[in-house]
Chain A
């Protein structure tokens, strides 16, 4: 494989306090994260986690919006922090972002057309006005929008679902290799979520675009993705095939997380069954041990040291001492776990 985008032992630490407070607080948002997205075989990976898990930080690191505290993010082998103009331009075309809020990404004074014509101009995607119009037309239709109902309008005249699909169409115009979508459906209504997820899935199947889908919602993750990486406070708790991880979670945290999801089936005992996990304050991310220890029902003395990701028999990995008789994953590198066999 030729890696398109790699995170190599990336770590991101945010420090608070500072000037006025004597005690500087540090939060490890992402701790030693390694993964590469293949440039040849498309993959669809979910990075899932709750608030504070570091999922958005990973998206920002991979997009080059936030620099890592240590480690490197590389695009086609080149560190994106030290990339020249030409490489940067290629990176900005190959790797596209879709953000959570379809209301904030638009300038209210410009018509919708502006957000679609700008990338065509900047990247010289069309040689004539007519060709540009054709490209836009095609991109809009691909995401299920009718050009006559969207073009010439202002953002406020469109629904959240339509706006989010236009940002997908914009990303599509650039014929990217990878789209990093950070909670793309969390702000649209349930009835429209399916339509947007269908658009993303179509780009993966029909156009061979790889996806990193960042979400807190494991139900939608299950629907669209092939592989899933579950984060807990900056570390990877479990990763593997979405079918395995969601149907039969192995890490105590993933288990609790999945069992906590209220399923839309009234006959269930969700409201009665006791929750194993303890409701405690935010854990300290700077201690060396397993981050889940304070909330974990299975915690022992052995949890004082951060467990590596152990390889389980079915090919997934889990970072928990319950599995310390297995082989650890070499260098914590998730690449082989998330790559899809063609």
Chain B
């Protein structure tokens, strides 16, 4: 089964210039996102997952910069090559973001309805129908119409996150980027918000790129998953393949380190410490911590090996000798 590609990311590079040298926060990432899919991007802090979505939004700030690559929409638009005013126009219409801390992303002195209307007005939407549109958006995210007249401090954390989602979908984006949208919320509310996000994704036929480190959430929400380590994408596959049959040694350790209600009193961590992007190891970035490391892992950089339908891994174990 071939699926239509919505966004084709090729060779994405994001670098940060520091006094101690260049840090490659996103390191030669290739990724295709399909139309109407839910894709989960997983990684530890510093793995480059948030940087990657900020690059797609063109929100990388100095000393960081996009050092290379393309991110081409199905209509031929390259997100990374847009001019400054096109970037603005592009946000919300093509790509929208659901932020991590909803409490910090709403204007505290503006009513919820006004905030949503403001963004739509800025994007040149019809003024007369705005109020009705806001009521409809609030309804879509499960909020009462009265919420439009409230200020952010009058809402609970979950309601604030819903308001942010209403704003994000206001111009019917085709790609919704969600950076740990529920990490600040309690689990019961988290589930309600994720269910709302999924319903909206189906209604809009949008693609959702969910970024986070909660493997449970990924398993439940995503259809495909990508694993990042040290700025590199090391494995991509369907959620079932990645969780039940992980191939990359890092993914294997990550999956076995997930706490669950199955085992008590056993603790499996990943040995070693995370890498420094300023002083990355040679060869495969994971080799110093890898239990299956071979001699050539400290020399050769692994490419991407195609394993089966939709499953890719970046590891020398799977590369045949020439």
Contacts and interface: CB of A to CB of B under 8 A. Distances in A.
Given A194-B259, A268-B220, A260 B243 contact: no
Contacts of A263: 216, 219-220, 260-261
Nearest to B186: A50
Contacts of A222: 259, 261, 264
Interface stretch (A88-96, A273-281, A301-309, A320-328): A273-281
A162 B265 CA distance: 21
B158 A219 contact: no
Interface string A254-275: 0011001111111110111001
B259 A191 contact: no
A340 B254 CA distance: 33
B217 A191 contact: no
Given A263-B261, A265-B219, A268-B220, A191 B195 contact: no
B211 to A, nearest CB: 14
A54 to B, nearest CB: 14
B252 to A, nearest CB: 12
Given A193-B269, A261-B187, A262-B216, A219 B257 contact: no
B220 A262 contact: yes
A261 B215 CA distance: 11
Q: How large is the interface on B (under 10, 10 to 19, 20 to 34, 35 or more residues)?
A: 35 or more
A282 to B, nearest CB: 6
Contacts of A261: 187, 216
A246 B260 CA distance: 11
A26 interface: no
B69 interface: no
A223 B214 contact: no
Contact of B190 (A162, A256, A260): A260
B269 A275 contact: no
A219 B213 contact: no
Contacts of B142: 279
A159 B260 CA distance: 25
Contact of B257 (A191, A271, A272, A281): A191
Contacts of B253: 191
Contacts of B158: 279
B190 A198 contact: no
Given A266-B220, A272-B195, 14 more contacts: A193-B259, A194-B267, A194-B269, A201-B265, A222-B261, A242-B264, A257-B188, A260-B191, A264-B216, A264-B258, A266-B240, A266-B243, A271-B198, A279-B158
15 contacts: A51-B186, A159-B274, A191-B253, A193-B269, A219-B260, A243-B264, A266-B243, A271-B221, A275-B192, A275-B195, A279-B142, A279-B156, A279-B192, A281-B155, A281-B156
